[in-house]
Structure 1
Amino acid sequence: MAPKSTFATSTAKPPCSVSTLFFSFTLICTLSISLFFLFNTTHQSKTSSHPSLMSQNAPQPLNNSIKVYIADLPRSLNYGLLDKYWSFNGDSRLGNDADREIRSTLLSKKLKFPPYPENPLIKQYSAEYWIMGDLMTPEEFRIGSFARRVFDANDADVVFVPFFATVSAELQLGVAKGVFRKKVGNEDYERQREVVDFIKGTEEWKRSGGRDHVFVLTDPVAMWHVRAEIAPAILLVVDFGGWYRLDSKASNSSSSDMIQHTQVSLLKDVIVPYTHLLPRLHLSKNQKRQTLLYFKGAKHRHRGGLVREKLWDLLVNEPGVIMEEGFPNATGREQSIKGMRTSEFCLHPAGDTPTSCRLFDAIQSLCIPVIISDDIELPFEGMVDYSEFSIFVAVSDALQPSWLVGHLRSFSREQKDRFRQNVARVQPIFEYDNGYPGGIGPIPLDGAVNQIWKKVYQKLPMIKEAIVREKRKPPGVSVPLRCHCT
């Protein structure tokens, strides 16, 4: 899967004089790009290393890169899935208005790197696309990328598995949701099976037991049928909420069908940000905020999200509080933008899982997050100090009548301004989009992709130790998955 530059020129040999001019032009452009990124690297490193936000004790890389080998999966399991997505007319789940417009422009085109869906149900999980896009970008344009792609697995620190698991799952849910939890007639399961069978048959997997392989599983239902088989790997997930148990109805109350908590751990896995759905508001554009607290989302949720319904009933009639049903899709996007940009605080209660893209929409909107989710895990902890720009409230306190509103009103104007300034400083850290077609091009230097690879880099000593421990075990003896940690 060697990359081919989207910036490539014709291979036909021009006349000598044209060749000389072309060479000179290319040299000038290359030097300009190099100077641009050198400047930006220096500039962004200064702005992103604010001592109160970025941990001074976070492990620092020794060689400023992590070496990544891309497993040789067929295109049908990544960009080919996007071809499949864009070829559909779509149903209520896949038929987002923004995507219909994109489909109409792609009908006559065959792109090597198609765009990712704008449908918010899918876009929020787009980490797989941007990570892959960075790795597929020609090396000369990857100035500043923390991950260095290698083409010999023996030279790699980790093996990246290029499966667009979210797109695969959402295709199945959009076309035939009824068979999603089944194996027969389930194309997503067939793709999962193809990925796992291929990967487990490679020498790289056999050598490490899969512990140095990286899977992107941002959608809570991604690779749902094969999770136990890839449990030893490094999993990039948005939280651990979808891993602990299945709905009792789906599992028939059988513990053997439940996802075991030992399959995920902060010791080996990485929490990554959702992709924000709302545009970034720069601090210089911030205006006076009239509303105290804002929330837009579904009132009724399951499992840990039951607290949301209780909070709703407590807050809906409070002065200065806006509670709205809905999702920032095509029809509710402008309403969400206005609500978050005109509110001091944005509520972030647990839903079906402990977190959601709502948190990152709030950050991009300079709305101070109020996090009410006792089991939440957050991206880049140890690298970012969330307490400097977010309010954390225990569920037990939040459910006391009038307590939360009183607590938020107790913050002074100076305190809120300081929180908002800190929110502005961390906005770039949660940005995936590099602004290039197909995601092929230089990435934001302090953006989410680089932060993810830095976090994976921190895991390497523990991963290597686990591989060595496995090798010393006598035949027939397995190493238990001890993933308990706090």
Structure 2
Amino acid sequence: MMEKPLMRKCCNNQICNYENSITTQKSESLQFTTSKHIYIHDLPRRFNQELIESCESITVGTERNICPYLVNSGLGHEVEDLEGVLLNKSWYSTNQFLLAVIFHNKMKQYKCLTNDSSLASAIYVPFYAGLDVGRYLWGVKASIRDQSSFDFVKWMVSQPEWEKMWGRDHFLVVGRISWDFRRQTDNESDWGSKLRFLPESNNMSMLSIESSSWNNDYAIPYPTCFHPSKDSEVLQWQDKMRRKKRPYLFSFAGAPRPDLQDSVRGKIIEECQASKNLCKLQECSYGVNGAITCDNPANVMRLFQNSVYCLQPAGDSYTRRSIFDAILAGCIPVFFHPGTAYAQYKWHLPQNYSKYSVFVPVKDVKDWKAGINETLLRIPEERVVSMREEVIRLIPNIIYADPRSRLETFEDAFDLAVKGILDRIDGVRKVIRDGGDPSAGFADGDDFKYTFSGYVGET
């Protein structure tokens, strides 16, 4: 006997069929003033599929070949875990730069898609801008870096969907930091493209692994290597993290940044090395050995699973994937700058940051007085237990479930990102309905976003 297709209420309470999630009933859907319907723009292949087909031309910071990471819907190859660190077969060699591909594949399975753009609450634009600019970041003229961006916005504004809200209901997703798309001059030596400074792009919202200080950029979690296909795998992993014995007070996985004078990493490494019985250090220097050690999720998970706290200084930019590896391992993150997490992942992490993390503000490394040992040892055990439980509870929020399946009861990072952007666009619509100017504040800069004002650290 054939089973009934899985049914859920969605799209503003109408029934969605998971085996046929494309909604076409226009008259029925128009009864709702708001909905969760999303329309996927069918872009010319050069903006997405052809980039994948020519993956050998794409470089990332370490110059590694990105092509092997494209298998399994962008998750990479399944990781072989001979020591049982990872527990089940839900782990992959995921590359953070492929977030756009993973997100696109998950969006294709979104429960409330529509093929009628007039019914959509949001227009998803699957332009793999990060993969595109990744071909040209090093030693290539600025005009070449920008060419695809110009072509992209020219195509976008020629589509009938653009006129509805002049792009303010459009969004794209990239697997690079937002600053890679905000080059402010045409100097050849300046970094990145100027996609986000093009007037048309300025009307759109962009979701990326790290946001800028502009209001139309939003941060969503880096992809980790854990991509469960069912709820039981999430529950099993959470239970494993609750039962872990954690012999080290704190740990750090990373490399020093001697060329960045304001980086606290050097001080952190010094403190860790001086606290051998309390701290475990895993160096991830560039080069064959370091890359292999830290690229293997089993090695990183083993370190963080054995630690009560995981130190999370800024990386080459404010954020780093290690934040989410730590949460995944049930390890309480310790932050030194609000721009590393608190001012970033507002859709995915609690506003009350003291519930799940420790904040040790370091405004100037020259005045380093952190005393990490003393700071962490002063925290009462009951608060440690509470923070760890909150971290473990957050695990579903920061993972991207396997695009080839769907979690039943958990909302993952994709779900929360979609909910966040829909709320954002609904807010713009309300401004329009109330007779306001939808451009007011939409893409303004926030000079205080990454300051220490309003954030209280441990004493």
Q: Is the 8 A contact 1:122 1:167 kept in 2?
A: no
Q: 2:312 aligns with which of 348, 353, 378?
A: 348
Aligned to 2:335: 371
Q: Is the 8 A contact 1:294 1:323 kept in 2?
A: yes
- For residues 210-225 of structure 1, the aligned pairs below 5 Å read 210-220=167-177, 221=180, 224-225=193-194
Which secondary structure does the structure 1 equivalent of 2:161 belong to?
A: helix
Question: Quick one: which amino acid aligns to residue 228 of structure 1?
Answer: F
Offset, 1:401: 4.0
* Cα distance change on mapping 1:429 and 1:63 into 2, 3 Å: farther
Aligned to 2:197: 228
Q: 1:416 aligns with which of 379, 384, 388?
A: 384
Q: 1:169 aligns with which of 133, 136, 161?
A: 133
Distance in 2, Cα, partners of 1:300 & 1:90: 19
* Cα distance change on mapping 1:421 and 1:73 into 2, 3 Å: same
Q: For residues 140-184 of structure 1, what are the alpha-carbon distances to aligned partners after superposition, in whole Å with 9 as ceiling and x for unaligned?
A: xx5xx4xx21222221112111112222233445xxx321x5224
Offset, 1:384: 2.8
Question: Quick one: which amino acid aligns to residue 284 of structure 1?
Answer: K
Which ranges in structure 1 are unaligned for 5 or more consecutive residues? Answer: 1-23, 38-61, 107-112, 244-260
Question: Quick one: which amino acid aligns to residue 124 of structure 1?
Answer: Q
Aligned to 2:142: 182
Q: Is the 8 A contact 2:397 2:412 kept in 1?
A: yes
Aligned to 2:400: 432
Which secondary structure does the structure 2 equivalent of 1:199 belong to?
A: helix
Q: For residues 357-390 of structure 1, what are the alpha-carbon distances to aligned partners after superposition, in whole Å with 9 as ceiling and x for unaligned?
A: 1100001111111111133423234873442221
Q: 2:360 aligns with which of 374, 393, 396?
A: 393
* Cα distance change on mapping 1:278 and 1:312 into 2, 3 Å: farther
Distance in 1, Cα, partners of 2:35 & 2:291: 37
Distance in 1, Cα, partners of 2:123 & 2:258: 36
Distance in 2, Cα, partners of 1:367 & 1:90: 28
1:482 aligns with 2:444: yes
Which secondary structure does the structure 2 equivalent of 1:210 belong to?
A: coil
Distance in 1, Cα, partners of 2:161 & 2:427: 18
Question: Quick one: which amino acid aligns to residue 158 of structure 2?
Answer: G
* Cα distance change on mapping 1:390 and 1:471 into 2, 3 Å: closer
- For residues 243-392 of structure 1, the aligned pairs below 5 Å read 243=212, 261=213, 264-265=214-215, 268-277=216-225, 281-284=237-240, 286-300=243-257, 306-319=263-276, 320-326=278-284, 329-332=291-294, 333=296, 334-376=298-340, 377-381=343-347, 384-385=350-351, 386-392=353-359
Q: Is the 8 A contact 1:238 1:273 kept in 2?
A: yes
Question: Quick one: which amino acid aligns to residue 458 of structure 1?
Answer: D
Aligned to 1:453: 418
Distance in 1, Cα, partners of 2:347 & 2:60: 38
Which secondary structure does the structure 1 equivalent of 2:424 belong to?
A: helix
Question: Quick one: which amino acid aligns to residue 420 of structure 1?
Answer: R
Q: Is the 8 A contact 2:337 2:363 kept in 1?
A: no
Question: Quick one: which amino acid aligns to residue 275 of structure 1?
Answer: P
Distance in 2, Cα, partners of 1:412 & 1:472: 50
Q: For residues 280-324 of structure 1, what are the alpha-carbon distances to aligned partners after superposition, in whole Å with 9 as ceiling and x for unaligned?
A: 853335322111111111210776962323433444323412333
Q: Is the 8 A contact 1:371 1:392 kept in 2?
A: yes
1:131 aligns with 2:100: no
Offset, 1:205: 2.3
Question: Quick one: which amino acid aligns to residue 388 of structure 1?
Answer: K
* Cα distance change on mapping 1:128 and 1:466 into 2, 3 Å: farther
* Cα distance change on mapping 1:292 and 1:269 into 2, 3 Å: same
Distance in 2, Cα, partners of 1:423 & 1:125: 25
Question: Quick one: which amino acid aligns to residue 274 of structure 1?
Answer: Y
Q: What's the Cα RMSD here?
A: 3.9
Q: Is the 8 A contact 2:246 2:306 kept in 1?
A: yes
Q: Is the 8 A contact 2:38 2:121 kept in 1?
A: yes
1:70 aligns with 2:40: yes
- Bigger share in helix: 1
76-85 or 319-328, larger mean C-alpha shift: 319-328
Distance in 1, Cα, partners of 2:258 & 2:315: 6
Q: Is the 8 A contact 1:158 1:214 kept in 2?
A: yes
Higher relative contact order (CA 8 A, sep 6+): 1
Q: Is the 8 A contact 1:214 1:236 kept in 2?
A: yes
Which secondary structure does the structure 2 equivalent of 1:149 belong to?
A: coil
Greater CA radius of gyration, 1 or 2?
1
Q: How does the TM-score come out when normalised to structure 1?
A: 0.66
Identity %: 20
Distance in 1, Cα, partners of 2:50 & 2:176: 19
Q: Is the 8 A contact 2:326 2:332 kept in 1?
A: yes
Q: For residues 413-468 of structure 1, what are the alpha-carbon distances to aligned partners after superposition, in whole Å with 9 as ceiling and x for unaligned?
A: 3332222221111101111132xxxx344356410111001111221243225657
Aligned to 1:250: none
208-217 or 301-310, larger mean C-alpha shift: 301-310
Which secondary structure does the structure 2 equivalent of 1:178 belong to?
A: coil
* Cα distance change on mapping 1:63 and 1:208 into 2, 3 Å: closer
* Cα distance change on mapping 1:418 and 1:90 into 2, 3 Å: closer
* Cα distance change on mapping 1:165 and 1:89 into 2, 3 Å: closer
Question: Quick one: which amino acid aligns to residue 136 of structure 1?
Answer: K
Distance in 1, Cα, partners of 2:258 & 2:170: 33
Which secondary structure does the structure 2 equivalent of 1:163 belong to?
A: coil
* Cα distance change on mapping 1:92 and 1:358 into 2, 3 Å: closer
Distance in 1, Cα, partners of 2:355 & 2:436: 43
Distance in 1, Cα, partners of 2:248 & 2:437: 61
Offset, 1:89: 12
Q: Is the 8 A contact 2:122 2:422 kept in 1?
A: no
- For residues 61-140 of structure 1, the aligned pairs below 5 Å read 65-85=35-55, 93-95=63-65, 100=68, 115-117=74-76, 123-137=95-109
Distance in 2, Cα, partners of 1:322 & 1:302: 24
Distance in 2, Cα, partners of 1:277 & 1:329: 16
